[in-house]
Amino acid sequence: MERKTLLTESTDAKGLIAKITNICYKHQLNIIHNNEFVDNTNQRFFMRTELEGYFNDETFLADIDSALPDDSCRDLISSGRKRIVIMVTKEAHCLGDILMKAFSGALDVEIAAVVGNYDVLESLTEKFDIPYHTVSHEGLSREAHEEKIIEIVNSYSPDYVVLAKYMRVLTESFVAAFPSKIINIHHSFLPAFIGAKPYQQAYDRGVKIIGATAHFVTNDLDEGPIIHQQVIPVDHNFSAKDLAHAGRDVEKSVLSKALAQVLDDRVFVNGNRTVIL
């Protein structure tokens, strides 16, 4: 007996839920949980179906394909722990939160390795018996630096790459190497305060809330599909430094929650938006 998750996306059409669930019944698969959503603006259908039973993937997916519109996408994902590689610079709070949650089982993930452009977080990482790779950017072009990182990341065959306060802008080549597989935490409630020093920007603007945003990385800086966001109240007593300090707790919470949703195969990318089922 296995558990797998069927992810389905297609042009919306009448009877899709019935067609898919009838095929599951035909293959004697038990539906543990099912959720669906229709983007009426773009006429796109999304469905996430948790299944249990004895699978013949080839024949099951062939039947699913025969029932769906021609432009459909579907994936049958086995249950099990996914692998990530984390990229960092110098700040420890997001990395430390993921390490602790993975260690305690609060986050069901295998951290294959951590890669940093400084060695500042090496000792923290190695306390959890996880390999740490320092790839200094000094004296290298951005492209040459990223080529070294890509080689290391690929050696671990991760399902996702997580930017836990990695403070360098990625090139188009790097993003293309891991399409819809790079998750970033931005220390701002996007789309406000894009780019560098968002807490200083927030202070200068006199905001009454600050927040953080976890999103998939695209070639548009800090504008990729948003996975999770959260805010906390602040007031005129907060300096820019106070805002940054308060924001760290929000950042690590948002990143870990977004990562949990992605690892559980709940996130569909729908253009520059996400659908989370």
The secondary structure of residue 54, as a DSSP letter, is -
pLDDT 10s digits, 151-176 = 999 999 999 999 999 999 999 999 99
Write down the mean pLDDT value for the chain.
93
Position 30 scores a pLDDT of 98
**Which residue in 222, 242, 249, 264 is the catalytic one?**
222
97 counts as catalytic: no
Is the Cβ–Cβ distance between 46 and 8 less than 8 Å?
yes
pLDDT for residue 195 is more than 70: no
Is the Cβ–Cβ distance between 276 and 266 less than 8 Å?
yes
pTM of the full predicted structure?
A: 0.91
Domain that holds residue 128: 82-276
Residue corresponding to tokens 């996975």: 227
Q: CATH code at 114?
A: 3.40.50.170
Residues 127 and 55 in one domain: no
Residues 107 and 51 in one domain: no
Residues 53 and 138 in one domain: no
Residues 191 and 255 in one domain: yes
Residue corresponding to tokens 């200083």: 200
Residues 74 and 86 in one domain: no
Out of 73-77, 193-197, 211-215, which region has the weakest mean confidence (pLDDT)?
A: 193-197
Residues 190 and 214 in one domain: yes
Last residue of a domain, one of 78, 109, 141: 78
pLDDT 10s digits, 209-251 = 888 899 999 998 778 999 999 998 888 888 888 878 888 889 9
pLDDT 10s digits, 100-137 = 999 999 999 999 999 999 999 999 999 999 999 999 99
Residues 152 and 129 in one domain: yes
Position 170 scores a pLDDT of 95
Last residue of a domain, one of 56, 78, 100: 78
